[in-house]
Amino acid sequence: MSADDQPQDETSRLRTFLGILRKFVGVSDIASVRFSLPAQLLEPTPNLEYWNYLDRPETFIRIGDSDDPLERMLAVLRFWFTKDLKYVKGKPCKPYNSALGEFFRCTWDVEDKAPPILSGTVKDRTQASTGTPQKPVRVSYLTEQTSHHPPVSAFVVSCPEKGITARGFDQLSAKFTGTSVRVMAGAHNMGIFVTLHRHDDEEYQLTHPTAHLGGLLRGSLSISVSDVCYITCPKNKMKVILRYVEEGWLGRTQNRVEGVIFHYDPENDTKTKIKDVLEKDILAKIEGSWQDQLYFTLPKSSSDQEKQLLIDLNPLFPTPKTIPPEEHQLPNESRRFWHDVTEAIHAREYSKATNLKHQLEERQREKAASLKEHNEEWRPRFFTAATTPVGRPDLTPEGERVLRGLQEGDYRLELPVEDR
């Protein structure tokens, strides 16, 4: 075993990582630089697989179940607090950088069992009274790396059975401060757009807060959030302001979040802080820990002044996904694309893994150089454009076929003509 293949403990890995990051002090956005890390510092997971928001898909499929607009907004919040459960239950990690044209697809088959938040719908009461078991509900996910500089991927989530979709662009911007990494949404990342087709295409926009990756000096990575983010639904004129509070008295970490749901005017959306919201406009208040339990209260209801549990994260873990069998995966499909690198990392052959990774990255550089030389613009296969000014990607006809195939369990997909 070479010196480069000697396994490192977590503290040693973080010291090496910190040494690399120090070269980027003063760089405005290290995410756009796309610097290459040695294999022993990477989590053997494709970036496109890692960045999904369906850690608990049963909360996603229940968003549109209620006829009560307030309950639907509370259901959006329940989904929001479970979408990144991987950070609550696991350690932060650095997955592989995505390659241009790389894509990932998967499904979840989940029980429709998330409890109603308020009164419950007719369906909930009927199921409870009859005890009739329901077949699992399928959720499909497709994402593609649509841009290399800046690195941007488009994604879509679909659950036809429940009439709900979600879409957006993922792009991160990161800055190393010397002791931590500040991670925020990039210019093309305008959040997650959730559409409820059975409620007149009611749309919710969920924006991402800024996070900090700390613990580099201590040798133990941790994520903290100290920012404000928003959820808006212009159709029902409801808005959420969530304020994440990280440090408490004497600098003790709290992981606390507080927020309000209130009526707002989409044509005059000026309220950006909780203190700006008039008490008479507040429909519900949110409080708790985004790593523990979240509660809501209904201040306008004399019988519901006590806080009620929205979601308890303690017993929850990310739900496993189903991916196409290997024989149906294309060469640029994430698991297959990174297969050899992943195998080498698992075997602790880090020098081999690093060389394989560099070969893949060099092919990407050659591909980008060829496009530039021939004055050609890259066109995604499954999405109509690399980015859009409104933050909502649209599927190509082929992208729509892929989603239908996922729903039906048909994973067959032809290589594009240029790759045959």
> How high is the pLDDT of residue 280?
93
Residue 309 pairs in a beta bridge with 295
State the sign of the Cα–Cα–Cα–Cα dihedral 40, 151, 98, 84.
Answer: positive
Strand, helix or coil for residue 36: coil
Strand, helix or coil for residue 255: strand
CA distance 271 to 288: 22
> How high is the pLDDT of residue 251?
53
Kindly give the parts of the chain with pLDDT less than 70.
Answer: 1-28, 30-37, 40, 119-133, 216-219, 247-253, 300-305, 417-420
> How high is the pLDDT of residue 49?
95
CA nearest neighbour of 314 among 337, 333, 289: 289
> How high is the pLDDT of residue 190?
96
> How high is the pLDDT of residue 372?
80
Strand, helix or coil for residue 27: coil
Other beta carbons within 10 angstroms of residue 146's beta carbon come to 30
> How high is the pLDDT of residue 302?
54
> How high is the pLDDT of residue 224?
84
Half-sphere exposure of 48 (CA within 13 A, CB side): 30
> How high is the pLDDT of residue 32?
65
CA nearest neighbour of 72 among 259, 309, 231: 231
> How high is the pLDDT of residue 129?
40
CA distance 132 to 189: 42
Type of residue numbered 200: D
Type of residue numbered 402: V
Give the Cα-Cα-Cα angle 345, 87, 105 (nearest 5 degrees).
65
Distant-in-sequence, close-in-space partners of 315: CB < 8 Å, separation ≥ 6: none
Strand, helix or coil for residue 303: coil
Query: Count of residues for the chain?
Result: 420
Q: Which two tokens stand for residue 388?
A: 């859009």
Type of residue numbered 235: K
Give the Cα-Cα-Cα angle 109, 112, 113 (nearest 5 degrees).
125
Q: Which residues of 400-417 are buried (b: 16+ CB within 10 A; e: fewer)?
A: eebbebbbeeebebeeee
State the sign of the Cα–Cα–Cα–Cα dihedral 84, 85, 91, 97.
Answer: negative
> How high is the pLDDT of residue 50?
92
> How high is the pLDDT of residue 384?
96
Phi, psi of 44 (to 5 degrees): -70, 65
CA nearest neighbour of 42 among 18, 19, 13: 13
Distant-in-sequence, close-in-space partners of 68: CB < 8 Å, separation ≥ 6: 118, 119
Distant-in-sequence, close-in-space partners of 277: CB < 8 Å, separation ≥ 6: 241, 260, 262, 271
> How high is the pLDDT of residue 181?
84
Q: Could you identify the residue written with the tokens 């092919």?
A: 363
